[in-house]
Structure 1
Amino acid sequence: MASGLFIDPTTLLRIAPVISTTCSLWFGWDQYEFLQLFLKPDIQGHSNEMLPSYFNTFFGRGARRVVGLLLTTILTSAANLRYAPDGLLHERGSFIWYSGAIAFALGHQIYVPFILPSIKAITGDAKEKNVNELKKWLYVHNWRTLTVDLAGWACCIVAAVKTLSP
């Protein structure tokens, strides 16, 4: 049997938070890359018209992905804390890192009150203010990505490396 083709379920559990946080970071970066195109000075008039429709579609799909990735990070990190053999995570120094991953994934939600007004304004069509609302949204989005999302990713990597190292 080709046993080398499959990852041990325990190893998969240890790296699952790394995978989900990597996807979160990638999605966050893509959001920035694609949405900042609406800010180009030569198309801002068109952007003000297109943003409400785009945001209504984008957030319906995007929010589910973000929540799914955050929940995956939280649940798989918690499963590592709960189901690791007694003392393993403390011995390896990774308990605090999986805990940090959970805290930073939850911390993503701290930014919601700062982003929600811009989302509501754009989806409700703030007319010629849509581009300015997008600028506000991207500013907070970038801070969130560079703080809690990046920190959560780093915690997951350190946790997995420490746990899987001999």
Structure 2
Amino acid sequence: MATPDFIRTIRADAGHQLLWLPGVTAIVFDDAGRVLLGRRSDNGKWSVIGGIPDPGEQPAACAVREVFEETAVHCVPERVVLVEALEPVTYPNGDTCQFMDVTIRCRAVGGEARVNDDESLEVGWFALDQLPDLHEFGLFRIKQAMAEEQPTWFDRQ
């Protein structure tokens, strides 16, 4: 995930201290029930699509924007899947962040999946029984998004 300019500005004053930040994850399904994934350029691993909202940007608008920016796929948000405070993460440069992730189930409505920016090495559609190796973060969100009638998930307890 590229660091947005507004975060760089905050970091100029805040240094490496913990920043509490919003994050949005989009779980995008096509009409065949496949899920859209990207192989990240920062670590080479397959992942669900996501990013940081711009100041004042609504989570659903962020999901739509991030999906298009990273994959060239147009999508529409359908529902909030989960809201979760993630564990703090420390990046190699020493910056520490903790994200409040809002995961949104989306439906693809156009575009052809392709690498559309420098954040991904590959993008593609995957059948649910043929997913590449994914971190638990992505697997859990896909599972929650698949359940049509399930309410929004708020807590692992």
TM-score normalised by the chain length of structure 2: 0.24
Greater Cα radius of gyration, structure 1 or 2:
1
Q: Which has the higher strand share?
A: 2
Q: Which has the higher helix share?
A: 1
Query: Which protein, 1 or 2, shows the higher relative CO under an 8 Å CA cutoff with sep ≥ 6?
Result: 1
